[in-house]
Structure formats: structure tokens, C-alpha cells
A and B are shown apart, each in its own frame.
Chain A
Amino acid sequence: MNERNNIVEQREPGVEIRTGGKVRVSRWTTGAAALYMSAILALSACGGSGGGTPGSSAATSTPATNVPATNAPASNVPASNPPATNTPAPSVPVTNSPATNPPAGASSYAMAITVENGVDGERNVPQVSVQLCAPGTSICQTIDNILVDTGSTGVRLASAALDPRLLAALPQETVSSGTLNACGQFVDGYTWGTVRTADVTIGPKQARSLPVQIFGDPAAGSAPRACTDNGTLSAEDTPQAFGTNGVIGVAELLQDCGTTCTQLVVPGNYYTCSGSCQGVKVPLSLQVSNPVASFAQDNNGVVIDLPQIGVTGQVSAAGTLYFGVGTEPDNAMNGAVALQTDPDSLMNFVTYNAMSYPDSFIDSGSNFVYLSTASIPACPASSSVAGMYCPVSALNLSATFLTMSSSTISEAFAIGDALTILGDNPAFGAFNNVAASVSSMLTGNTIDFGIPFFFGKSIGLVNEGQSALGKNGPFVAVGPG
């Protein structure tokens, strides 16, 4: 620890210059070339995270002219926006505090999170910037447009969003003397890439030497057939296909695969490849892991706090991502209720409209609310939003969750007319009342409570092996916003 602290101290004076205000920079829709250029510009000498409160337009554009090729000390640029030492009101999220010298107040454990369009134009994507450094060095890059995902574990970044110099400096993990690659599978595709270690700075917090997946990394070679499921899954290895430049998975389980992958080769997870790829067992410490658990403090989970927004939506919505649950004054989640959460699957048990949805989940990585019900009118089949819901007047609904106290709690959500809401403001990126998954089959077993559900609430995730709110994790908690 001392050694590592020293390294950070040494890096401390180096301050990264961000290349633009968060909202503006993130409106990249022009494809990989623009992403790549932005990545180059964002590469800079590093230290703590850059200055600038959310919405600030004061960020400076500074071409990176002095990227250290090796471990040479960074040439330091004065901070343009020194960290505040006395935090303003808790409701004002602050992002500018280096991990090693946090000012008092929420800025030492909170950062801004912005709900807006993803890089591919997907709506309702909660995003932050992260700083990635080669471990123990000042070879660093700040990467914008990173999804904060409560539905997965681990940091995964698109190779295309990384400067090649940084990528080359990130050590690849090895297992059984082979370099380690990781596969991630979804219902709609897969990611495939290397597993490398990086110092990952997320707002005021740092996870050092964290195993991360770099998807689309040429060093991983071609994905094995078990990852593509014999070619039936498509690659989501570019920012455009994935939807963002990467993801910070903060789900309540600490590794993406867990103990089973230490004992068994589980198809579709970890591989070493020379010529052909072979599935491998991987110790927990080498698996792609929840970054929060690696923080020095406030490491038992996260709270996502999004304000309520108007029913017509907004271009973007700024909220707060707190690190830790019940560890600090502003992440206390007063009045929150711990939901019954399956410790293995992390599913919540929900009833809605007198039917049960035993495999439901609250997922910041889902753009809208997805449920299948016959009780809400569907949008016209011929419309651009066929498959979504279009009630004549907005519906204020509630879903009932089982709680960890063997009781129930009713949580509100709204569904409006998607045709009007999305059609009237095509440039908007934040909506609290859009739902989809119209189906003739009534149940579907699952309600996926995506981002619209988060507005006006605080959603807490308490990790496995940790406790908060008087309960043992893993669980998800819902509180007032």
C-alpha cells in the first residue's frame, strides 16, 4: 500500500486537461474517426481527475503533445479548476477531487452522472467519464461516454476509444502462461477482448491495477466459437455497436463470473489463445471485477440518484453517482427499502397489475422500461415506435416489490405516449416515461426497470460480502430521490 500511495503522491501534481464540457463532447455521432480523434485529444499527462463541475463550459482543449512514452514523470499542467475544499450543498455533485486528498463533503465520494444519448444515438444512457492509466504510470487517458451499468460487473472499454499508446502500455493478464481474453454474452451479441490491468479513476475514486476487458482489442484475435455461440451472436466490439465507449459495471457481485470460473471452464467466459482458443479457469483476483470493491473507502456499493424530470423529456439530465452505501452523509439512503434480491441471479420479485414477475430487475443499462402487459395500449403498428406503449393519457403506475423484510413496497413509474414523447423532441436524450416490449403474450416473467424508473429515486446497490441499511448484500435498495 505504501508503495502504491507513493506512486500516487508522485503523480499528484499532474493534472489532466479535459477536452471539453461533458455534454458537448459526448455528442459524438460521427463514428469511429471522430471517436478516435477525441481519444487522441483526451490523452494527456495525468494525476488526479480533471476539474470542472457538471455543466461547466470552462474545460480547456489542450492537444496532448507530451505523452510520456514510458514511466517518465508527467509534465504537469496546472489545474484550471482546482478542487473545492469545502463542498457546496450536497445536492450539487462535484467531480473534481483527486483520490488521495479528498476535500470534505460529498465530492470525495460522489460524481456527476449524465443521462443522455449514447454514441449511437440510443436514448437514456447514464454516462460518466473515466480515467484510465497504465498501472503506476502517468500514461493516462480520460474517456467520455462510459455507461454506468447496474446490470453487470466490471469495467469494459472499447479498444477503439483508447489511444494506441495507452493500450500498448496496459499489461495483459496471463493465466497458465497464456494471455487472458474475456468474452461477454448478452441476448443480442457479444464482446470479445483482452483482459488487462489498469488504474481506473472514476470521479474521486481510484481502483488500482484493476482487471478490465478491452473489447475489440486486436491482441485478442478472433473470438472463439463458444463466445459467438457458433456464429449466432454478433460482435458488439465497437462503440457504435455497443452504444457507448465502454461500461462500468457496478452490479452487486464482485466478479463477472465468480467462483464457478475458478473451478470450471464455463463456456463463453475466459480464454487463452495461441492459434486456437482454449477455455481456462481464472482465479477471482484476475477476473474482470467491480471497480468499487477496489476503492480504499466507500467500497460497499453505489447509489445512483437521478432527479425527477419533466414528462416531455430533456436533452440530458444530470444526477449523482455516489460511491458507498450508508458510508457517508449523502449516501445514507434515508428512507430507502432493501428489496428482496436473489443472491445468485440478483433478480427481484415484482407484482404488477395482479400478475407476478419473479425475474425482474432494476437496470441502468436499459434505456427504457420493458414489460409485456395487455393493460396498456400499444403504439400503432405502422408508427416509428411500434412495440412501445402509447396510452392516450400518461399513466402513473406502480409495481410492488418484495422486500428483504418479507414485506412489500410499492414503487411508482410512469408510461406516457411514446409516439408523442419521442416524436416531438427527437434530439432529447432523457425520458422518464417511455416503455416498450409490447407482446401478445401477457406476462413475460420479467420487468426490466430501465432508466425511466430511476428518475426521482435513489437506487442503491450493496455488494456481496458487504452490508448497509442493516442488511447483508447482495441487494438493491430503493429510496426517495
Chain B
Amino acid sequence: MSAPQKNRKYCQSLDCSSQLKREMGMPTKKVRISSLWCRVALHGAVVRCGLTIGALTLAPSAFAALGGPPTLETVSPQATEQIKARAQQMILETSGASSAAIGAEGAWTVRESKLPGGTVEREYLGGDERVFAVAWRGPYRPGLSNLLGPTYAMQMSQRAFAQRKDGLGSRERTVQMSSTFCVRAISRQRFSAGVAWLPSRLPVGLHPDALSIPSSS
């Protein structure tokens, strides 16, 4: 099984296709152009440019995004090993998948920072040093426009809003799967946690459940 097929398995879902359909058929009033949203769109463009012209994403603002270069702090090899061991344990506990579900040795590394309020942010890097997934967990919601990048952050919130209005999700929990972007998140007062990833960049054999930050870390 090739890597893309394996990855798609995690992200082919009925809800995704129906969401997309619904969005395509939805009124477009939400695409109201203001200077604020224009800036967001601009950032989105920069992110896309960054995929082909890497230097553009190294702007002084160091705006992070899925698919872009890392912005968080480096983590020691020992800490990375601990994270991988925990990921393996988590897979066994939650999904019953095999211990191989965290991917091959050396296939990914981690960067991590702790915000002043106590929330941990994490970036997962593939062999190309690009962020293929992010995770967060802690008492306060981090700036997801920065961690996910503005395009994915907006996609996540707009789909979550549509889900809630359709009875498919709550204010506090969303699960979104598509062939290009996947996220599952909780955000409420005093607690926010989630993981988001780009399925096309997920290392072979890595189960997305391994990416969550466990409660006791």
C-alpha cells in the first residue's frame, strides 16, 4: 500500500464530502471582504507561495502554518523519544492499532513551546523539516490562526459553525476530515486541545491518534 492510500484511509469520510457539498451550496455572505479578511487572504496566499518559494515564509513575523517551516522551540532527542513512546502507548490504548502506527524511526520530529497561560503547542515535522501536523493542549485556547495558519484556522471555524447549525457538532467539539486538511478539537473555557494535520504529508505508518498531546504530559 502506498503512502497516499494509507493516509487517505484516515481522511476519507462521509461527513467530509457532505460538508464540502454543503459549503459549495451555501450562500457566500460569509466571504465578506474587509481589510481584516483581506489580510487573512493575503497570509493565505503567502502560505501557498511559501510552498513553492520557501524564502517568503521566513518573513520576520514568523507566521506559522501547517505545511510551512517550524516556529516553535526545538526539543531534545530524549524528549522526542519520550513523545514517541507516549504516542505508541496512546495508540495501543485508544485505537488498538499495532505498535507500528507511529511510523518509521526518524520519519518525524517534534518542536514544542509552552505559552504563558500553560497551554502547550507542538509542531510535527517531516523529514523535509516542514510542519505536517500541529497539536495543542492546555487551559487556554492558543492562537490557532498562528499555529494552523490563517487559512486552515478559518476553514476549521467555519466548518465547525456549519456543523453546529446542522446538528453535527457542538460549540466545543469538532471533528473534520478531508483529503487536504484534518482536525479534531475541543475548545471551551479553561480547556483547549486538538490536533490538525495535512494528510498528504503524514509520514507512512503514522496514525493521527498518535499526534494528540496526552493529558499527563
Does A365 reach chain B (CB closer than 8 Å)? yes
Residue contact B150 to A231, C-beta cutoff 8 Å: yes
From 268 to 310 in chain A, residues with beta carbon under 8 angstroms from any chain B beta carbon are 268-269
- B-side contacts of A441, CB under 8 Å: 10-11, 13, 175, 177, 182, 184, 208-209
Q: Interface digits, B56-100 against A, CB 8 Å rule (1 contact, 0 not)?
A: 000000000000000000000000000000000000011110000
Complex CA–CA separation, A248 to B186 (angstroms): 20
Q: How close is B40's CB to chain A, nearest CB, in angstroms?
A: 5
> Which of B11, B30, B116 has the largest number of chain A CB atoms within 10 A?
B116
For A228, list chain B residues within 8 Å (CB): 36
- Inter-subunit contact A187/B158 (CB<8 Å): no
B153 in contact (CB, < 8 A): yes
Among B46-54, B103-111, B187-195, the one that faces the other chain is B187-195
Shortest Cβ distance from A185 into chain B, in angstroms? Answer: 5
Query: At the interface, yes or no: A173 with Cβ under 8 Å from chain B?
Result: no
B200 in the interface (beta carbon within 8 A): no
Known: A185-B187, A378-B14. A367 touches B170 (CB 8 A): yes
Interface size classification for chain A:
35 or more
In the complex the two chains form, is A439's CB within 8 Å of B15's CB?
yes
- Distance in angstroms between the alpha carbons of A392 and B208 in the assembled complex: 30
Please give, as numbers and ranges, the residues of chain A lying within 8 Å of B34 by CB-CB distance: 231
**Binary contact readout A258-271 vs B (1 if CB under 8 angstroms, 0 otherwise):** 10100010111100
A434 contact set on B, CB distance < 8 A: 167
Contact of A448 among B15, B172, B182 (CB under 8 A): B172
> For residue B140, which residues in chain A have a CB less than 8 angstroms away from its CB?
260, 266-269
**A439 engages B160 (CB within 8 Å):** no
A347 contacts B9, C-beta separation under 8 Å: no
| CB of A312 closer than 8 Å to a CB of B | no
Residues from chain B with Cβ under 8 Å of A379 in the complex: 14
Contact B150–A253 (Cβ < 8 Å): no
Report the Cα distance A85→B137, complex, angstroms. Answer: 51
User: Given A151-B172, A441-B182, A444-B184, A230 and B167 touching (CB < 8 A)?
Assistant: no
Indicate with 1 or 0, residue by residue over A331-363, a CB within 8 angstroms of chain B CB atoms: 000000000001011110000001111110101
A284 and B177 CA atoms in complex are apart in Å by 39
Beyond A251-B189, A347-B191, A354-B96, whether A187 also contacts B160 by CB under 8 A is yes
Say if the beta carbon of A122 comes within 8 Å of chain B: yes
- Shortest beta-carbon distance from A356 to chain B in Å: 5
Using A188-B157, A365-B172, A439-B177 as known contacts, say yes or no to A358 and B167 having CB atoms under 8 A apart.
Answer: no
Shortest Cβ distance from B17 into chain A, in angstroms? 6
CB within 8 Å for A436 and B30 given contacts A354-B96, A448-B173: no
Inter-chain contact B171/A122, CB cutoff 8 Å? no
A187 near B150 with CB under 8 A, answer no
Given contacts A187-B156, A231-B40, A441-B177, contact A436 B215 (CB under 8 A): no
Residues of chain B lying within 8 A (CB to CB) of residue A436:
167-169
Which A residues touch B173, using CB under 8 A?
187, 366, 370, 437, 446, 448
B181 at the interface (CB under 8 A from A): no
A444 partner residues in chain B, CB cutoff 8 A? 175, 184
**Cβ contacts under 8 Å, A442 to chain B:** 95, 209
The answer to whether the Cβ of A450 comes within 8 Å of any Cβ in the partner chain is: yes
Residues of chain A contacted by B175 (CB below 8 angstroms):
370, 372, 437, 439, 441, 444
A359–B94 CB distance below 8 A: no
A120-B165, A268-B141 known; A234 vs B30 contact (CB < 8 Å)? yes
- Report whether A345 and B14 are in contact in the complex, using a CB–CB cutoff of 8 Å: no
Whether the Cβ atoms of B139 and A366 lie closer than 8 Å is no
Expressed in whole angstroms, the Cα–Cα distance for A67 and B160 within the complex equals: 41
Tell me whether B187 and A386 are in contact (CB under 8 A).
no
In the complex, which residues 203-257 of chain A have their Cβ closer than 8 Å to any Cβ of chain B?
Answer: 225-226, 228-234, 236, 243, 249, 251, 253, 256-257
User: Chain A contact residues: over half helix, strand or loop, or mixed?
Assistant: loop
Q: Is A100 an interface residue (CB 8 A)?
A: no
Please judge, given known A-B contacts A230-B40, A230-B143, whether A153 and B94 are in contact too, CB under 8 Å.
no
Question: In the complex, how many angstroms separate the beta carbon of B165 from the nearest chain A beta carbon?
Answer: 7
Q: Which A residues lie within 8 Å of B172 (CB)?
A: 151, 186-187, 361, 363, 365-366, 448
B144 contacts the other chain (CB 8 A): yes
Kindly state the separation between the CA atoms of A444 and B94 in the bound complex, as whole angstroms.
Answer: 9
A436 to B34, CA, bound (A): 34
Decide if B157 touches A234 in the complex (CB within 8 Å): yes
Contact A229 B18 (CB under 8 A): no
- Chain B minimum-CB-distance residue to A257: B189
Contact status A231-B190, CB under 8 Å: no
CA distance A131 to B182 in the complex (A): 43
Contacting residue for A440 out of B11, B19, B165, B166, CB 8 A: B11
Indicate if the CB atoms of A264 and B189 lie closer than 8 Å. Answer: no
Q: Does A123 contact B (CB under 8 A)?
A: yes
Identity of the chain A residue whose Cβ is nearest the Cβ of B166 in the assembled complex: A387
Q: A228-B36, A370-B169 are in contact. Are A253 and B189 (CB under 8 A)?
A: yes
A346 to B19 CA separation, bound complex (whole angstroms): 30
Name the residue of chain B whose CB is nearest to the CB of A342: B215
* Known contacts A268-B140, A440-B13; A231 and B154 CB within 8 A of each other: yes
Which of A347, A386, A448, A450 has a CB less than 8 Å from the CB of B14? A386
Contact A359 B186 (CB under 8 A): yes
Which residues of A come within 8 Å of B, CB atoms?
120, 122-123, 151-153, 184-189, 225-226, 228-234, 236, 243, 249, 251, 253, 256-258, 260, 264, 266-269, 342, 344-347, 354-359, 361, 363, 365-368, 370, 372, 378-379, 381-382, 385-388, 422, 434, 436-446, 448, 450
Give 9 new A-B contacts, CB below 8 A, not counting A269-B140, A434-B167, A448-B173. A151-B171, A184-B189, A187-B173, A188-B158, A228-B36, A268-B140, A359-B215, A388-B167, A422-B167
* 25 pairs, CB–CB < 8 Å, chain A vs chain B: A152-B189, A185-B141, A187-B156, A187-B157, A229-B144, A229-B153, A229-B157, A230-B143, A232-B153, A232-B157, A253-B189, A257-B189, A268-B143, A342-B215, A345-B139, A367-B164, A370-B175, A372-B175, A386-B17, A387-B18, A437-B169, A438-B14, A441-B13, A446-B186, A448-B173
